[in-house]
Chain A
Amino acid sequence: MSAPLIEVDSVSKSFWIPDEPRHTIREHVMAGFRPRPRRHLPVLDSVSLQLHKGEALGIMGANGCGKSTLLKLVCGIYLPDAGTITTRAPITPILDLGVGWNPELDAVDNVYLIGGLMGLSLAEIARDLDAMLDFAELRSYARMRLKYFSSGMAARLAYAVAFQAVRDVLVLDEVLAVGDAGFKQRCQERYREIRAAGHSTLVVSHDPLLIGEFCDRAVLLSGGRIVAEGPAPDVAETYLSRLVKAS
């Protein structure tokens, strides 16, 4: 078996929350540059997982269990405090839809802006521009400024760019359910195409049905640790039963 595309090995991450805010040079000088009293907020504790080529791995867990922090670590947005993260393929993170949209620009300029930020070259954007606008059903609104778009139209455009920008690994954080039923259906079809083309995906969701249907394996996080791991439907069920117990 070839080496995993993403290897998270015993990764821990915590944040230090200062009790006394010091955001300015003046505040540091007034405090004589003494160390600040800070509270330790552990988020992830020795988490290990692997994502193999062509695999879809779901990550589940209650709010605040460290799912989004784990994705940001995998995407290189945060650095781990301990442990190592090895990535052997380019990653496309979709942690939020429409990050970087400029409402004063039209759809085409926004596609160039967001496409570039997501790693597409100018030539790739120019080549796929019509396909993206068609997927979002916005070809006739191509030159309309984004500030006049409805939130649904903007979300469709965001999906269109994000799906076009997918490289070897797609990382999704709670963003697989926008738009009307028809558009949702097309998103799911596109997701399946991406899977069929051999891309790997890392999906964070609270939705057991989505994880069960779209992922091969899943892990369940609780208190910053992996508490369950296995076939996606089984982990989704464990997640549900823990929720029922907690309530």
Chain B
Amino acid sequence: MSSKSIGLAWTLIRTDFKTRFHGTFSGFVWALLKPAAMFLVLMSVFSFLFKDPSYKLQLVVGLFLWDFFAEGTKSGLAALHAKSFLFRKLRVPLWILVIAAIANPFITLMVSTMVIVLFLTAIGQPPSLVAVGLFAFYSVSMTLIVVGFSLAASVLFLKYRDLNQVWDMVTQAGFFLAPIIYPLNIVPERFHFYFYIWPPTPIIEFSRAALVSGHPASVLAHVYLVLEVAVVLAVGTIVLKRMGPRAAELV
């Protein structure tokens, strides 16, 4: 990865952010406030509905991670189609366009993480450094999964124009497959393996274990997670390498 590639990625992210929020300071503040406001709304509603304080926090952690996964994959899938006017006239590394498209949901995830950590500290349950470190690792893992998916899906979308609708349906079903609104232990243990194949499941479960319950997942579980991330990234890279060179002819 050259310094020019990094510079281009940074410029694309910066200008996209500036366009989205009209380059104003209030726009930037709103970008930061949105996840914080969402956190407050969710916590208020869940406090009214659920009495168990750890459950509502687990729900919020799950929802924020899911939101990043759903938004990131949606933006990543459309990344090349949205910027096709560039690679039809210029030789642009396609992966940079994909990464730039995912940056905005990633910024939201970072802000959400800060809000959760601040909240835990405010209510007298500050997460340990290990817990914060583990959560950072899970966030990076989720980001790499979103990147891997997007590398493949963005170039496939140039050929199959209803892939976004198919993915919409998958994410709707996936929301209920991932243990976001229910605890995984209500599912018989012999089925857990299948639930863990869906990439958001281990990340959401491990994040809750580290941040909320304070009992991190086992080392073996982390090995599985790393393998899952590696497989998604490898598949995404292979698909982009195979189809990417003909991307300009697919549009």
**A15 adjacent to B249 (CB under 8 Å):** yes
Tell me the nearest residue of chain B to A112, going by C-beta: B11
**A117 adjacent to B248 (CB under 8 Å):** no
> Size band of the A side of the interface?
20 to 34
**B11 adjacent to A26 (CB under 8 Å):** no
Q: A77-B87, A99-B90, A105-B19 are in contact. Are A122 and B161 (CB under 8 A)?
A: no
A75 to B86 alpha-carbon distance, docked (Å): 13
Chain A, 1-43, contact with B by CB distance < 8 Å: what is the 0/1 string? 0000000000000010000000111101000000000000000
- Name A's interface SS: loop
Tell me the nearest residue of chain B to A101, going by C-beta: B85
Instruction: Indicate which residue in A99, A109, A122 contacts B89 across the interface (CB closer than 8 Å).
Output: A99
**A25 adjacent to B11 (CB under 8 Å):** no
Instruction: Indicate which residue in B11, B88, B89, B246 contacts A116 across the interface (CB closer than 8 Å).
Output: B11
**Chain B residues with CB below 8 A from A24, complex form:** 160-162
Query: Taking the complex as formed, is A119 at the interface, i.e. its CB lies under 8 A from any CB of chain B?
Result: yes
**Chain B residues with CB below 8 A from A75, complex form:** 91
Task: Give the residues from 122 to 178 in chain B that come closer than 8 angstroms, CB to CB, to chain A.
Answer: 159-163, 166
Query: Taking the complex as formed, is A240 at the interface, i.e. its CB lies under 8 A from any CB of chain B?
Result: no
Q: A24-B160, A104-B19, A112-B15 are in contact. Are A93 and B7 (CB under 8 A)?
A: no
**A77 adjacent to B88 (CB under 8 Å):** yes
Tell me the nearest residue of chain A to B245, going by C-beta: A79
> Size band of the B side of the interface?
20 to 34
A109 to B159 alpha-carbon distance, docked (Å): 32
Query: Taking the complex as formed, is B92 at the interface, i.e. its CB lies under 8 A from any CB of chain A?
Result: yes
Tell me the nearest residue of chain B to A26, going by C-beta: B162
Tell me the nearest residue of chain A to B83, going by C-beta: A100
Tell me the nearest residue of chain B to A72, going by C-beta: B248
**Chain A residues with CB below 8 A from B18, complex form:** 105, 109
**B161 adjacent to A23 (CB under 8 Å):** yes
Query: Taking the complex as formed, is A78 at the interface, i.e. its CB lies under 8 A from any CB of chain B?
Result: yes
**A117 adjacent to B8 (CB under 8 Å):** yes
Query: Taking the complex as formed, is B10 at the interface, i.e. its CB lies under 8 A from any CB of chain A?
Result: yes
Q: A24-B162, A105-B15, A109-B18 are in contact. Are A117 and B86 (CB under 8 A)?
A: yes
A172 to B106 alpha-carbon distance, docked (Å): 38
**Chain A residues with CB below 8 A from B87, complex form:** 77
Query: Taking the complex as formed, is B115 at the interface, i.e. its CB lies under 8 A from any CB of chain A?
Result: no
Chain B, 217-251, contact with A by CB distance < 8 Å: what is the 0/1 string? 00000000000000000000000000001101100
Query: Taking the complex as formed, is A113 at the interface, i.e. its CB lies under 8 A from any CB of chain B?
Result: yes
**A113 adjacent to B10 (CB under 8 Å):** no
**A78 adjacent to B248 (CB under 8 Å):** yes
Query: Taking the complex as formed, is A121 at the interface, i.e. its CB lies under 8 A from any CB of chain B?
Result: yes
Chain B, 1-20, contact with A by CB distance < 8 Å: what is the 0/1 string? 00110011011100100110
**Chain A residues with CB below 8 A from B160, complex form:** 23-25, 28
A-B pairs with beta carbons under 8 Å apart, 17 shown: A23-B160, A25-B166, A26-B162, A28-B160, A77-B90, A78-B248, A91-B91, A93-B90, A93-B91, A95-B90, A96-B89, A100-B90, A102-B15, A104-B19, A113-B11, A113-B12, A116-B4
Binding site for A on B (CB under 8 A): 3-4, 7-8, 10-12, 15, 18-19, 22-23, 85-92, 159-163, 166, 245-246, 248-249
